[in-house]
Structure 1
Amino acid sequence: MTPRFLKPAVFASAILLAACSTTPTTTPTLDQARADFVAANNNPQVSSYAPLQFKEASDALDRANAAAAKKESLNDIDRLAYIAKQKIATAQEVARAKAAEANIADAGRQRTELTLEARTAEAERAKREAAEAQAAAAAAQQQAATAQQQAAMAQDQTRMIAERAAKLEALLVELHATKTERGMVVTIGDVLFATNQANLTPNGMSTLRKLADVMAQNPERTVLVEGFTDSTGSSSYNMDLSQRRANAVATALSSMGVPRERIAMKAYGEAFPVAANDNASNRQLNRRVEIVLSNENAPIPPRAASR
């Protein structure tokens, strides 16, 4: 029988005593024991943590009530009531002690859970930071590899540019090119054309082939072909001859693989002489085709006004 079912039995005994006599025998100690029993019975901790002690207290109180019902001596009733009262107090004390132990154990479990949660969170944080550090290291390694690759490519490009510039310099020296504000100028003199004609001689074609090689190695550059004559003959004839000779050079370069859009032409006839037209040697210098090679990625500026 659990303590929760003891209270009705006590009340039943009290009712029985009342039926037997209009003046039931009791003592202040017995009344106090009964009150203590009711309080203990209403305390859930007693039934949870001290069921055996409370059962002993209930049995002791039953004995005291039985003595009172039999109208035994007040000393005997007091003695039995005192024993019941003490056992009730014992049950209450045991319940309080065990409840305190349970609270301490629960607090310990909570601390353990909190500690475990904290350690788990710390472990997760450390794991996350380790993963982030590993990812950062991998990214840094990739960046270093990329930088190294870019540096190698830059070195290769610099080397290629230097080699190309050296080859260009050598070819331009071979072609007797002259450096001007408009760019490098290669002059094809009158001796590289058939006399009074616009047809290039084999030597003239050889010169242009070298220039075509320069253009192939420097695809960003363009050329401007300018034709000139001496002052002998009419202006219209000289303009036509300079035009035909410039066109012959442009056509030859195109046939050697230089894209036509990279070649511009301009005929000046007898304008812009480089020497006086007073003797055969000077007139021969004026009969020429000038090929202006542009600076890298820069347009060729126009020729200055006629002198």
Structure 2
Amino acid sequence: MFMAIGTALAAFSGCSATVPSSLDRARVNLETAQRDPQISGNAPLALQDAAQAMRRAERAWNDTRNKEEVDHLADLADRRTEIARVLAERKIAEGETQRLGQERDKIVMEARQREAERARRQAEAQARVAQQEAKRQARNAELVSQEARAQARDAEVARQQAEARAREAEQARQQAETATVRITQLEQQLAEFKARQTERGLELTLSGVLFEFDKATLKPGALRNLSPLITFLQEDPERKIVLEGHTDSVGSDSYNMELAQKRAESVRNFLIQSGIASHRIAAHGLGKGYPVASNDTEAGRLQNRRVEIIISNEASRSASIPR
């Protein structure tokens, strides 16, 4: 049995992933129980069950690397090891009770053999034996009661742990569903910005209609154009965004970089004035280096004069998202 567990652990050593602490703890507890002759001698079947549960946990780690599943199986193996320990203790206690009973029977038999010659002392001897027996039985009864209470507590703890895991699983499922719904709602709310999901997050494009040619000041209609974005950011106060300003190819590189930065900052300032916290918004000017259309036509240059918005996939991510 030790060889089988050792082989499985050797397989772990070749893996790059860190073995969960629950798996290590369950393995140490099982090996400790297997080395204890009182447990292995009095509860061998229960130890076999614990070893089988341990192997299932190890296989799950090798096959899936699913930490939640492995934690569950490792906890199951740990509980079965503890069951083996309790069963061994109970069997030892039962053997001790039997031994004490045999000793009692011997005392009674000897007392009867001496009855004829110890008639006067018989009553006293029997009284002492009865008193000792009553105390012994009281102690045994208390031990049995304590063991029953301990088992009841263990069962209640196991039930509570199972319920807690079930609640956690349900909560995780609900959170996943909520996240999916939220992403769908986000895409619907921001559909007019031609939103697209990328590795950096949800990317939106504010076309050149927000700015006059060669200007960085927002047009008066910016509130109407940016209203869906403002509403979304107000409803999701932990979400962070990056604004990237772009220009067409007219003008020098340095001038276009400055103009792109000013346009990104204009949108940022507008969002801040609309109630969005400044720490949630980063603004960068990228100049003319990332065109989305040809600069040979007015229509293409209009498309290139834009501000792109990247909304982080997770609320906890930094607002500085690399391109």
Give the TM-score band, short-chain normalised. 0.5 to 0.7
- What is the identity, as a one-letter code, of the residue corresponding to 1:279? T
User: For residues 153-172 of structure 1, what are the structure 2 equivalents within 5 Å?
Assistant: 153-172=171-190
- Cα distance change on mapping 1:170 and 1:200 into 2, 3 Å: same
Aligned length: 208
- Cα distance change on mapping 1:173 and 1:133 into 2, 3 Å: same
Q: Structure 1 residue runs of 4+, over 6 Å off?
A: none
**Distance (Å, rounded) in 1 between the aligned partners of 2:169 and 2:287:** 52
Deviation at 1:175, TM superposition (A): 2.3
Deviation at 1:279, TM superposition (A): 1.7
- Cα distance change on mapping 1:179 and 1:156 into 2, 3 Å: closer
CA deviations 1:126-180 (Å, max 9, x no partner) are: 2222332343344344434434543443344333323322212323434212334
Contact 2:249–2:288 (CA<8 Å) still a contact in 1?
Answer: yes
Aligned to 2:259: 241
Contact 2:244–2:286 (CA<8 Å) still a contact in 1?
Answer: yes
Contact 1:187–1:291 (CA<8 Å) still a contact in 2?
Answer: yes
Aligned to 1:250: 268
Identical amino acids, percent of aligned pairs: 36
Quick one: which of 117, 120, 123 aligns to 1:102? Answer: 120
Deviation at 1:190, TM superposition (A): 0.8
Deviation at 1:189, TM superposition (A): 0.9
- Cα distance change on mapping 1:152 and 1:181 into 2, 3 Å: closer
Contact 1:164–1:217 (CA<8 Å) still a contact in 2?
Answer: no
- Cα distance change on mapping 1:259 and 1:248 into 2, 3 Å: same
Give the TM-score of the pair, scaled to structure 2: 0.55
Give the root-mean-square deviation of aligned CA atoms: 3.0
User: For residues 33-52 of structure 1, what are the structure 2 equivalents within 5 Å?
Assistant: none
- The question of 1:302 aligning with 2:319 is answered no
**Distance (Å, rounded) in 1 between the aligned partners of 2:306 and 2:133:** 97
* Structure 1 spans left out of the alignment, 5+ residues: 1-96
Higher CA-based Rg = 1
Deviation at 1:227, TM superposition (A): 1.2
Deviation at 1:218, TM superposition (A): 4.5
Contact 2:242–2:321 (CA<8 Å) still a contact in 1?
Answer: no
- Cα distance change on mapping 1:119 and 1:252 into 2, 3 Å: same
- What is the identity, as a one-letter code, of the residue corresponding to 2:139? A
Deviation at 1:249, TM superposition (A): 0.7
Deviation at 1:122, TM superposition (A): 1.9
Quick one: which of 154, 157, 170 aligns to 1:136? Answer: 154
Give the TM-score of the pair, scaled to structure 1: 0.57
CA deviations 1:176-209 (Å, max 9, x no partner) are: 1233443332111111224443233355333323
Greater displacement, 125-134 / 143-152: 143-152
SS of the residue corresponding to residue 274 of structure 1 reads: coil
- Cα distance change on mapping 1:231 and 1:291 into 2, 3 Å: same
Contact 2:247–2:256 (CA<8 Å) still a contact in 1?
Answer: yes
**Distance (Å, rounded) in 1 between the aligned partners of 2:257 and 2:176:** 45
* Structure 2 spans left out of the alignment, 5+ residues: 1-114
**Distance (Å, rounded) in 2 between the aligned partners of 1:180 and 1:100:** 101
Quick one: which of 214, 224, 234 aligns to 2:232? Answer: 214
Aligned to 1:118: 136
Deviation at 1:217, TM superposition (A): 4.6
- The question of 1:272 aligning with 2:295 is answered no
CA deviations 1:252-305 (Å, max 9, x no partner) are: 2222332211211111333322222212111111111111223324455534xx
